[in-house]
Amino acid sequence: MVWTDFSAATASDEISETISYVDLADIAVAVVEGPSLDLIETLAATIADRLNDLAGVIAVEVTVHKPDAPIHHPFTDVRVVARRSQKSSQRPVAGTGQ
C-alpha cells in the first residue's frame, strides 16, 4: 500500500502526475529477484525502504506472506508487515493469519 497526495493527478487526469504502479512493481520484483534473503522480515523491510524513497511517496506498507512457513501447528498464513513514512521509520511487525 502506498500513500501519496494524488490531488494533481485527479485534477489533471494525467498518469504522469502520480506514482507509477509499474515502478512500484519493478522495485518489488527487483528486490525479490535480487540477492537471496533468509528472512521475510528483511524482504518486507527492504521493499518498504526502497518504495519509501520514491518521489511523491508519503508512506508505504508492505506485507509479505509465507503460507508454507515451517510451523508444526495448524495455521493459514504467516505474514510480516513493514511500514515506512517520510516522518519516521518503523521496524517490521510480524503477524499470523487465521
CB contact set of 89 (below 8 Å; sequence gap of 6+)? 49, 52
Residue 93 has pLDDT above 80, yes or no: no
Q: Does domain 2-96 have CATH number 3.20.20.70?
A: no
pLDDT digits (tens, 9 = 90+) for 21-70: 999 999 999 999 999 999 999 999 999 999 999 999 999 999 999 998 99
Q: What is the pLDDT of residue 90?
A: 52
Is 0.85 topped by the overall pTM?
Answer: no
pLDDT digits (tens, 9 = 90+) for 73-89: 999 989 999 999 987 55
Catalytic positions are: 66
Could you state, in order of their start, the residue ranges of all structural domains in the chain?
Answer: 2-96
